A and B are shown apart, each in its own frame.
Chain A
Amino acid sequence: MVTLILRSFGKMKGVMACEHDLNLKATELRLGLPGTDESEKHLVSNAKNNKRALPESVQDSGSNANSEAKQEIAPASKAQIVGWPPVRSYRKNNLQMKKTEAETGIYVKVSMDGAPYLRKIDLKVYNKYPQLLKALEIMFKLTIGDYSEREGYKGSEYAPAYEDKDGDLMLVGDVPWDMFISSCKRLRIIKGSEARDLGCGM
């Protein structure tokens, strides 16, 4: 991917390699004229030739130099082009990104008694309980009963439970969805007599 970008575009005078984590360079305002950035100079000399926008079909004479540049840049994950994508500086600098939540999802382990290994699901993918329960049913090939506040999950020998922030084992479904996904650390599918206990032994 990095090579494609490097090769495809002509005057990459302001191309900068971005830092791996903080992306400080990404939010740094760079103007059209190149600065004294070392890596920039490197890319400048290599990328001059080709102006075509076709990423795949590039065969240019500077291929050796390009692959050198590629080696330099690849570890830093991506090279950036000045002013692209065309998002105004103000907007770029002011996006209040909740990076961890918005991008990486909320993955929790799901264990089921008797199963040889655990699974993981992303709670962010679902908007409400029925969707989550359906997904669990499909994943583990079982039926979870219907939820009622009075009796927990009736109608099958399985009940979904979760470990919350305090380490307590809770029945899934009692609290609002948003509160659930922020406090759920781990899911457990309880089976058999334990399920019945969990349902009505409260």
Chain B
Amino acid sequence: MQVVWLSSSLALRDLQAFILHSCSMQMDPKLKKTKDSSSNSANSPDSTHSSFPFPDEVLERVLSLLHSHKDRSSVSLVCKDWYNAERWTRTKLFIGNCYSVSPEIVARRFPRIKSVTLKGKPRFSDFNLVPQYWGADVHSWLVMFAKVYPFLEELRLKRMTLSDESLKFLATSFPGFKALSLLSCDGFSTDGLKAIATHCKNLTELDIQENGIDDFGGGWLSSFSENCSSLEVLNFASLSSDVSFDALEKLVRRCKSLRILKVNKSISLDQLQQLLVHAPQLIELGTGSFQQELTPWQYEDLETAFSNCKNLQALSGLWEATSLHLPVLYAACASLTFLNLSYAALQSGELAKLVAHSPNLRRLWVLDTVGDKGLEAVGSSCPLLEELRVFPADPYELDLHHGVTEAGFLAVSHGCRKLHYVLYFCRQMTNAAVATIVLNCPDFTHFRLCIMNPGEPDYLTNEPMDEAFGAVVKTCTNLRRLAVSGLLTDLTFKYIGKYAKNLETLSVAFAGSSDRGMQCVLQGCPKLRKLEIRDSPFGNAALLSGVEKYETMRSLWMSACNVTMSACRLLAKDMPRLNVEVMRDEGSDDRQADKVYVYRSVAGPRRDAPPFVLSL
């Protein structure tokens, strides 16, 4: 009998019935049922021959309660019956690497998909390490979806390329389309958004975040039909041009179910007040520009509008916010669980006052202009804090007098014992501080520390930062994601390999001393899924030591390391189910593999690779 670990909770009655009959089930492959797309299982003449006394409906009924795609993957491996039942009941598709599978394979396996999440480029493309026109174009997927899933409702893309033509195709091919979410995508313009607004009559969600988009003006917003009242999520915060405020106001007024509204910088404070008056039910708000000369009445109206938003849980935007206008937020802060100040260059005092009004904060994103003092205030005001992200206001500034140090991080860890997610950009750190931090907060699941000067040692002892990350992996047994920085030797990686047994994602830059480091990680971390390395002295021996590991991972990225073409070719030859792709830098030695991207795939080598991507 196979053991299947399920993470989601099923209805107890269904589960009981299921377990009872699973135990008596004989897994006889001759009696398995196969389904084609036209047959109805209840009427299938084979049902009486199945060793499973209940028709597929029971199995399907139970499995339809499973939502986690990881659970579904486990379930589909039990036996053919379960595989079939699972594929018929899956409605949400999650593809973490668009090249790991092809549209044809997906279409054959899953007949009833309503929602698709697709991720494309390697994460380092966010930092300009992947050239333009690399790929991850969504169009071929859309063509397949239009044929096989005409009732598609949701599409969520991350790091994919899509053109305006694709958006138009999307808008006109799926009559029931409801939700579009684009994160870090590129290749399209506001014209494509116009097509979506015009044709998707039942749109509930339009979420456009941080994309490389050509902004031809805000006219797209006016393309929403006057009958459109179904919007629940509207996020255009990252677009720069002006939209018609009149069109926006009317839209907000009509859409009574609107719960997430994030506007862009073109919306002023008094315009925001008018929007809030129509949408006090908002759960998440992204403001526009937060700087404007207001009359006392306007100020008061704004304050009132905020205090009437009783359900506000998340707040962002706040561009150019100063201490003059922040107080209008105080009334709304009481219910806030997420405050995103990462585009507002606040000083310590301003932050202190804000967080003093926000005792229920779970997640806080800030710029390092708040300094250690600001973080101290966070430590004392936000005992429920679970996630902290501190971004650098000026990433290229080398002056140590700016930003945050280990003191700020320590202060937060003292006051916020529930902290489990941190992203921290700083210019100095010590091993001792990190050791104390993880003692205070042993539940870290995500620890991303970026000491901005590459190869920076512990500034007090001048030693490598090995012990810091050693402390993290030893103490935080639930650690799933780790990003390391500073001066690091192989010892850090020995620690990681030895202790980080739940680690899934590791990011390495300018670290390590030899192949041994990477080998330790590949040999020691059983749950590793994503490994991304840049500018580190790991070479062929390290790359090849993971030969058997890479098929259990989503992907490996190595750039500016010591890997050669011959090793890459060897890897590609030995492992046909891995795609090994190399990009060479101009003017570099023919033998060097400057950028290596290795990922498992059932679809074989890419057929759309541009000339600068060598598929080995």
Contact = CB atoms under 8 A, between A and B. Distances in A.
B509 interface: yes
A88 interface: yes
B170 interface: no
A9 B211 CA distance: 30
Interface string A30-45: 1111100000000010
Nearest to A25: B396
Contacts of B320: 96, 98
A53 B535 contact: yes
Contacts of A118: none
Interface string B499-519: 000000001011111000000
Interface in B21-61: none
B395 A87 contact: yes
B171 interface: no
Interface residues of A, number: 48
Interface in B377-431: 391-398, 402, 425
B560 A51 contact: yes
Contacts of B345: 95-98, 102
Contact of B127 (A34, A83, A95, A124): A83
B585 A8 contact: no
A169 to B, nearest CB: 25
A87 B392 contact: yes
B396 A80 contact: yes
Contacts of B560: 9-11, 13, 51
B488 interface: yes
Interface stretch (B449-457, B548-556, B573-581, B598-606): B449-457
Given A82-B128, A86-B127, A96-B320, A5 B454 contact: yes
Contacts of B324: 178
A201 B443 CA distance: 62
Given A32-B595, A87-B391, A51 B126 contact: no
B210 interface: yes
Interface in A1-60: 1, 4-5, 8-11, 13-14, 18, 23, 26, 29-34, 44, 51-55
A31 B507 CA distance: 20
A134 interface: no
Given A51-B560, A90-B210, A23 B128 contact: no
A32 B349 contact: no
B128 A29 contact: yes
Nearest to B345: A102
Contacts of B595: 32
A94 B240 CA distance: 10
Contact of A9 (B238, B393, B454, B594): B454
B348 A127 contact: yes
Interface in A77-110: 78, 80-92, 94-98, 102-103
A85 to B, nearest CB: 5
A44 B359 CA distance: 51
A5 B184 CA distance: 29
Nearest to B562: A51
Nearest to A82: B128
B7 interface: no
Given A11-B560, A32-B130, A85-B395, A127 B349 contact: yes
A32 B450 contact: no
Contacts of A89: 126-128, 212
B299 interface: no
B305 interface: no
Interface string B579-603: 0000101111000001100000000
A29 B398 CA distance: 21
Given A11-B585, A81-B454, A53 B347 contact: no
B496 interface: no
Contacts of A1: 398
A95 B535 contact: no
B564 interface: no
A134 to B, nearest CB: 16
Contacts of A18: 396
B323 interface: yes
Q: Is the interface of A mostly helix, strand, loop or mixed?
A: loop
Contacts of A31: 128, 130-132
A78 B512 contact: no
Contacts of A103: 394, 397, 402
B553 to A, nearest CB: 21
A102 B586 contact: no
B393 A97 contact: yes
A116 to B, nearest CB: 29
Contacts of A33: 131, 585-586, 612
Residue with the highest number of chain A CB atoms closer than 10 Å, among B128, B324, B453: B128
B585 A52 contact: no
A86 to B, nearest CB: 5
B487 A54 contact: yes
A86 B588 contact: no
B561 interface: yes
B609 interface: no
A52 B394 contact: no
A39 to B, nearest CB: 15
Contacts of A88: 126-127, 184, 210
Interface in B482-534: 487-488, 507, 509-513, 534
B330 interface: no
Contact of A32 (B347, B425, B585): B585
A185 B127 CA distance: 42
A163 B583 CA distance: 63
B174 interface: no
5 interchain residue pairs of minimum CB distance: A83-B127, A11-B560, A127-B349, A53-B455, A90-B210
25 contacts: A5-B454, A8-B510, A9-B535, A11-B560, A11-B594, A31-B131, A32-B130, A32-B583, A33-B585, A33-B612, A52-B513, A53-B454, A53-B510, A53-B536, A85-B450, A88-B184, A90-B184, A94-B238, A95-B343, A96-B319, A98-B320, A102-B345, A127-B352, A178-B323, A178-B324
Interface of B: 124, 126-132, 184, 210-212, 238, 319-320, 323-324, 342-345, 347-349, 352, 367, 369, 391-398, 402, 425, 450, 452-455, 487-488, 507, 509-513, 534-537, 559-562, 583, 585-588, 594-595, 612
Interface of A: 1, 4-5, 8-11, 13-14, 18, 23, 26, 29-34, 44, 51-55, 78, 80-92, 94-98, 102-103, 124, 127, 178
Given A86-B507, A89-B126, A90-B184, 19 more contacts: A9-B510, A9-B535, A9-B560, A11-B535, A13-B588, A32-B559, A32-B585, A33-B586, A82-B128, A83-B534, A87-B391, A87-B395, A90-B210, A90-B212, A90-B238, A96-B320, A97-B345, A102-B347, A124-B347
